[in-house]
Structure 1
Amino acid sequence: MALFWLMVVALLVVAAQAILFGKRSLGKLFYTRRLSASQCHVGEPLEMIEELENRSSLPLPWLRLEAMLPVAFQFAGSADLVISEGTVYQNHQSLFSLGRRVRIVRRHPLLARQRGMYRLDSVSMGVGDLFGLVRVNRPMPLQLDVTIYPPYLPSHHMPDAYSSWQGEMEMRRWINEDPFLITGVREYRSGDPMNQVHWAATARTGELQVYQHGYSADPELLVVLNIELNEQMWSTVTEPAAAEYAISCTATIVDDLLGRGMKAGFAHNAIIPYEDEERAYIAPGYGIEQLYLILQMMAELQLKIRRPFSQLIKGLIPEDEQRMPTDILLVTPYVSEAIEASIEELRNEGMRVEVLLLPSVEQMKQNYSMLMEQFRLKGARPSSIGKSS
Structure 2
Amino acid sequence: MFKQETLATLVVIFAIALILGQPVLAWMLGLLFVTVLLADRWSRWSLGRVRYERSLSQSHAFVGDKVVLTMRVVNPKLLSVPGLRCSDVVPARFDYGTPVLPSTKSNSVVLSRGLALRPYEAVSWQIELQCKVRGLHFFGPVELSASDPFGLNTTSTSIDAPTRLIVYPQLANLPNLTLRPRQPMGDRRTQRQLLTDPTRTIGIRDYQATDPFKTIHWGATARRGALQTRIFEPNTTLDLLIVLDLDTFEHYWEGIHPDLIEYLISVAATAASAAERGQWNFGLYANAGSVDSEQLARVPLGRSPAQLGAVLEALAKLVPYSVVGLPQLLRRIGSEFPWGATVLVISAVPSQDMQGTLLRLAERGRRVRWLYGGDGRLPVIPGVEVEALPFDAAWQATHITQITVDQAR
Class of the TM-score when normalised by the shorter of the 2 chains: 0.7 to 0.9
Paired with 1:88 and 1:371, the residues of 2 have a C-alpha distance of 19
Residue from 160, 167, 170 that aligns with 1:148: 167
Richer in helix (by share): 1
2:340 alignment partner AA? P
Call closer, same or farther: CA 1:31–1:336 in 2, change over 3 Å. same
Call closer, same or farther: CA 1:28–1:290 in 2, change over 3 Å. closer
What is the aligned partner in structure 1 of residue 129 from structure 2? 110
What is the aligned partner in structure 2 of residue 357 from structure 1? 372
1:123 alignment partner AA? V
2:242 alignment partner AA? V
Aligned pairs (5 A) from 1:36-51: 36-51=57-72
What is the aligned partner in structure 1 of residue 327 from structure 2? 310
**Relative to structure 2, which stretch is displaced further, 300-309 or 83-92?**
83-92
SS in 1 for 2:126: strand
Unaligned runs of 5+ in 1: 181-213, 374-389
What is the aligned partner in structure 2 of residue 296 from structure 1? 313
User: Is residue 251 of structure 2 the alignment partner of residue 232 of structure 1?
Assistant: yes
Q: Contact (CA 8 Å) 1:46, 1:110: kept in 2 or not?
A: yes
Aligned pairs (5 A) from 1:28-107: 28-77=49-98, 82-84=99-101, 88-107=107-126
Paired with 1:59 and 1:23, the residues of 2 have a C-alpha distance of 12
TM-score by length of 1: 0.73
Call closer, same or farther: CA 1:365–1:98 in 2, change over 3 Å. farther
SS in 1 for 2:100: strand
Call closer, same or farther: CA 1:354–1:51 in 2, change over 3 Å. same
Indicate the structure whose relative CO is greater, using CA pairs within 8 Å and at least 6 residues apart: 1
Q: Contact (CA 8 Å) 2:246, 2:347: kept in 1 or not?
A: yes
Q: Contact (CA 8 Å) 2:66, 2:128: kept in 1 or not?
A: yes
1:371 alignment partner AA? H
Percent identity, aligned pairs only, is 21
Aligned pairs (5 A) from 1:238-317: 238-272=256-290, 273-276=292-295, 280-317=297-334
TM-score by length of 2: 0.69
**Relative to structure 2, which stretch is displaced further, 7-16 or 58-67?**
7-16
Paired with 1:103 and 1:70, the residues of 2 have a C-alpha distance of 25
Shift of 1:243: 1.0
When Rg is computed on C-alpha atoms for both structures, the one with the higher figure is 2
Shift of 1:20: 4.6
What is the aligned partner in structure 2 of residue 129 from structure 1? 148
SS in 1 for 2:279: coil
Work out the number of aligned pairs and report it. 324
Paired with 2:189 and 2:57, the residues of 1 have a C-alpha distance of 43
**Relative to structure 2, which stretch is displaced further, 217-226 or 116-125?**
116-125
SS in 1 for 2:249: coil
Paired with 2:301 and 2:234, the residues of 1 have a C-alpha distance of 15
1:313 alignment partner AA? L
Q: Contact (CA 8 Å) 1:124, 1:139: kept in 2 or not?
A: yes
Paired with 1:246 and 1:126, the residues of 2 have a C-alpha distance of 45
Call closer, same or farther: CA 1:42–1:228 in 2, change over 3 Å. same
2:118 alignment partner AA? G
C-alpha RMSD over aligned residues: 3.4
Q: Contact (CA 8 Å) 2:70, 2:126: kept in 1 or not?
A: yes
User: Is residue 363 of structure 2 the alignment partner of residue 348 of structure 1?
Assistant: yes
What is the aligned partner in structure 2 of residue 386 from structure 1? none
Call closer, same or farther: CA 1:219–1:362 in 2, change over 3 Å. closer
1:311 alignment partner AA? Q
1:15 alignment partner AA? V
